[in-house]
Chains A and B, each alone.
Chain A
Amino acid sequence: MKKLVLALPSKGRLEELSREAFAKAGMQVKRDGGARSYAGSLQGFENVNVQFLPAGEIARGLIRGTIDIGVTGEDLIHEAVENGIKKVELAAKLGFGKANVVIAIPDAWVDVVYIRDLADVASDFREKHGRWLKIATKYIQLTRAFLAEHGIAQYKIVQSVGATEAAPSSGAADLIVDITSTGSTLKANGLRIIDDGVILKSEANLIISKASKLSNEQQVDLGKIISAVRASL
C-alpha cells in the first residue's frame, strides 16, 4: 500500500523547529539514518513515510501532488509556480520561520517612501535612462502580481539566484524584492524597505496538497496529523 508522504525541511533551524512542532503535537519524528538521511518515520503512524527535503522542493512537491502534506514557507509556494497557492491548502500556521517578502530600495532614494513614489520613478525611468527600471529578485511571481496590483508596468525583472541584496551596489539592478526576517542584511547593504512595500508576510505552514489522491486510510492519517498539530498550537 502506498504510504502517506509527509515532507519536512531537511536542515537547519527549520528542520529542528518542524520536528519540535510535531513533538509538541505528540508525534515524534525519527530521522532513522541520522542527519544525512532523507528518510524518516512518524511515531504511531506506520503508514506515513517521512521525507526530509529542501524547503523549495517541498513546495514544488505539494503543488505537483508527489508530497501529500508538508512543512514549508508560504513564500516558496507562491514562488514555485504561478498560482501555486491555489493548488495547496494552508492547514496551520506554525509560528516560526517568520519572514517578509519586501520591496527594498537604496536608502539614498530619499524621495521614495511609498509604492506610489516608486510608480512615479518607474514612469520617468525609461525616458531618463534609456532602459527599464530593473528589479532583482527570485520572487518573480509575487513581484509581478504585486506591482500589477499597484498599476506599475514600467520595469524589468532581473532574475537573482543568491545575494539579491548586493544587486543595487553591483549595478545588476536598481532595487530588489527579497525575503527578510530582521531587515539587518538589507540595512547593511544600504537598502530600505518601502513603507507599504511588504508583499507577503510569510511563515512556516503545515500545508496539504490538493493534487494528491488519497485512499480512505490515508485520509484518516492525514486528518489525525492535522488535528494533532492544530490542537498543539
Chain B
Amino acid sequence: MNEVNDRVARLSELISAQGAVLSNPAMLLPANPFFDLAGEEFGRRLLLTNGANDEDYCLRPDFTLPIAMDFLRDGGDEQGRAFSYLGSIFRQRAQGPVEFTQAGIEFLGQKNRDETLENTLNFALKALEIYDIKPDILLGSVEVFESLLKVIDIPQVWLPRIRHRFGQPKAMNRLLDRLGKPQAPIADLKAQNREALITKITDQMMADGLSLTGSRSPEEIANRYFEKQQLAATPVSAKTLEILRAYLAIKGDASDSLHEIEALAKEYNLDIFAPLKRLTKHIEFLKAQNQVSSIKFDASFSPRLDYYTGIVFQMIFNSKTIASGGEYNRLLERLGAKKQMNATGCAIWIDRAEEAKK
C-alpha cells in the first residue's frame, strides 16, 4: 500500500511540475453538455441523477469537458493555458467498478501545436515511467485523413458522412460499398422537378401535422432525394474508393506505414504531404524516447468523437489502453468559443497502470 501511495505522490509531483494549474472540477456536473458534445453512445455511460428542477446531473465522467468549459467561462485566455488533474471519474459498465482514477493534462488555446503535442506525449510517458511501463504506442491521424478527403474526387455532400464514420471501420466499409454500387433509385415520386417535389412534401407534412421548420425541411428532404437519384445514376468513381480503401487499410510499424502512405500519395498524386510531414516529425520524436516499446500507426484509428482533429494516440500495455489522447481543435468551438482554438491533452488510467505494476 505504501508503494501505491508513493507512486501517487510521484504522480502528483509530476502533475504539479508541468507548469499547469491543478484543476479540480465539481464531482457533480450538468449532464446535458456531455450529451450535446458526445451524443448517446457516450451518454449511456454516464451515472445520472435528477435535480428537483428536472435537470439531469451526472457524476464527473471525464475531466476534459469541465476543464474546457471553465477555461472558456473565465474568458478563454488568448495566450493559452495548461491544466492538470488527478481524481475520480465515473462511467457505467456492464460489469465491474464504475469509479476510476484518472490523471491527465490539458493544453487549451496554445499557439504552438507541435510543441504542445510533444509536451503531452512526454507527460504521458513520464507518468507511465512511474509505473515502470514501457508502452506500445498506437498513432492515428485525423488530419491526414481529412486532407485526403479534400483532394479526392467525390461529391461534397459525402464528405461529412465519410468523416463521421472515421474510426468505425465496419460502418465505413458499408458506406464505401454503398458508394461503389448504389442501390436502384428510390421509388419514382413522379416529381419531375425539385419545386414539384417540395410542394408535394410540404403538403404531406402539413396534412400530417408536422412543423415545416422544426425538423427536416421539405427542401432538405427533396435535396437529399435528388442527391440519391444522382448517385444511382453516377456512382463515386472506382478510383476514389480504391484510394480510400487502400489508405484506411494501412497499419503496422509507424515508419513502414509512413512509406506506404507516401507511396500511395505519389501514385495517385494526392497532396497530403503537409500533415504527413507533421506525423513523421512526431514519430521521430517518439522514436527518440527510450521508454517507448514500439510505435505503430493505424490509418483507420480515431476516437469516435468528431471534435478530434490532428494526431491522436493510445499508449498500450498488456493489450490494455493505459493512456489516450491527442489533438481536439474543434472542442472549444463546439463549446461556444468565438474562434478556433487549439486543444491537446491526454488522460491516464491510473487503475490500469497500477494493475500492470502488480
Contacts and interface: CB of A to CB of B under 8 A. Distances in A.
Interface of A: 82-83, 106-111, 113-114, 116-117, 119-121, 123-125, 127-129, 132, 144, 147-148, 150-157, 168-169, 171, 174, 189-190
Contacts of B186: 110-111, 113
Interface string B214-229: 1110101110110110
Contacts of A120: 161, 224
Interface stretch (B32-40, B114-122, B314-322): B32-40
A189 B175 CA distance: 31
Interface string B195-222: 0010001001101111100111010111
Contacts of A124: 157, 160-161, 224
A139 B183 CA distance: 30
A111 B39 contact: no
A63 B140 CA distance: 42
A168 B172 CA distance: 29
B339 interface: no
B164 A123 contact: yes
B181 interface: no
B39 A155 contact: yes
B238 interface: no
Interface in B163-205: 164-165, 168, 170-172, 174-175, 178, 183, 186, 189, 197, 201, 204-205
B93 to A, nearest CB: 10
8 nearest A-B residue pairs (beta carbon) = A151-B171, A190-B208, A111-B225, A169-B209, A111-B224, A108-B204, A123-B161, A123-B164
Interface in B18-36: 35-36
Given A119-B161, A151-B174, A168-B215, A108 B205 contact: yes
B174 A107 contact: no
A136 B68 CA distance: 30
By size class, the interface of chain B is 35 or more
Nearest to A148: B41
B224 A154 contact: no
11 contacts: A108-B201, A108-B210, A110-B197, A117-B228, A119-B161, A123-B160, A124-B160, A153-B40, A169-B210, A189-B208, A190-B210
B44 interface: yes
A114 B197 CA distance: 20
Contacts of B277: none
A224 to B, nearest CB: 34
B239 interface: no
B94 interface: yes
B210 A168 contact: yes
Contacts of B281: none
Contacts of B168: 151, 153
A117 B220 CA distance: 13
Contacts of A106: 205, 208, 210, 215-216
Contacts of B221: 108-111
Given A109-B221, A168-B215, A144 B41 contact: yes
Contacts of A157: 40, 43
Contacts of B171: 119, 150-152
A6 B121 CA distance: 59
B304 interface: yes
Nearest to A189: B208
Given A111-B221, A127-B160, A151-B170, A190 B207 contact: yes
Interface in B146-168: 157, 160-161, 164-165, 168
A48 B332 CA distance: 61
Contacts of B175: 116, 119
Nearest to B186: A113
Contacts of B210: 106, 108, 168-169, 190
A119 B179 CA distance: 14
A156 B170 contact: no
A174 B208 contact: no
